[in-house]
Amino acid sequence: MNNTVFDPLNIILLVVAIIVAWRLRSVLGTRTGHEKRIDLPLPGQEPAREPATKTDDTPAAERDGQDDDVRYGLPEEEKPVWEGVAEEHSLLARMLQRMKDIDPAFDARHFLEGAKAAYEMIVTAFAEGDRKTLKPLLDKEVYQRFVAAIDEREKQGLTQEFQFVGLDEAKLTKAALDGKTAQLTVKFTSKVISVTRDSQGNVVQGNPEKLATVKDVWTFERDLTSKDPNWRLVSTEAPD
């Protein structure tokens, strides 16, 4: 019988071969038939590239720095508090800046928009005798004057028909500070239809078919250190 197969040298070589094969398998792995194909470029051919994900049509040169505020969470550059409502270096502009120094949240443009809305609410509520709406918008003294006028109108049996048509102008004209208390004065020019009738329905003032131009100068006040953000009407006067 040929005993070559049991030669100790052959057994040692076989064991070494098995160990080498196992290590190669562990390092290189095995092919399953599902591996991703890798195509090598031919000489002179550019390697195939994955298509870029489209995120913005704006050229990179034009995009530089465009979205820095968004990417880094930086606030947009803040406009001067006086811009759009006062002339630069004017007394009004300087006073507005002092107000913002006291209350960083103060915004003159936002105030003016609020003043426009308040003006319409107040003149409409006065015409309708709506004391409840007037009370939080006026300071105590002005509220008492308005209510006294409403009481007198009702005592005489008069009623007022009123339609607010629109504002022609709302211009910030003056700003003042008394300690931490700010006052802002606004000149309003509005178009309204206003008619006062007696108890019989007869017109005693105004014209129901004609627009009237009304001019008012109102001053609003607020403590800039208060948590209450609302401004209240503290003075009304006729324009010069």
In a domain, residue 208? The reply is yes
In a domain, residue 47? The reply is no
In a domain, residue 45? The reply is no
In a domain, residue 56? The reply is no
Expressed as residue numbers, the domain containing 222 is: 91-237
* pLDDT digit string, tens, across residues 114-165: 999 999 999 999 999 999 999 999 999 999 999 999 999 999 999 999 999 9
In a domain, residue 7? The reply is no
**pLDDT reading at 42 higher than 80:** no
pLDDT of residue 115: 97
Q: How many CB atoms lie within 10 A of CB 11?
A: 11
Whether this prediction's pTM lies above 0.95 is answered by no
Query: Token pair of 19, please?
Result: 């160990």
Q: What CATH number does the domain containing 107 carry?
A: 3.10.450.240
In a domain, residue 184? The reply is yes
Chain position carrying tokens 């001019």:
215
- Whether the CB-CB separation of 62 and 69 falls below 8 Å is answered with no
In a domain, residue 179? The reply is yes
Q: How many domains does the chain have?
A: 1
Evaluated on CA atoms 78, 81, 86, 88, the torsion sign reads negative
In a domain, residue 14? The reply is no
Q: Where are the alpha helices (DSSP H) in the chain?
A: 8-28, 60-63, 68-72, 91-102, 108-128, 131-134, 140-155
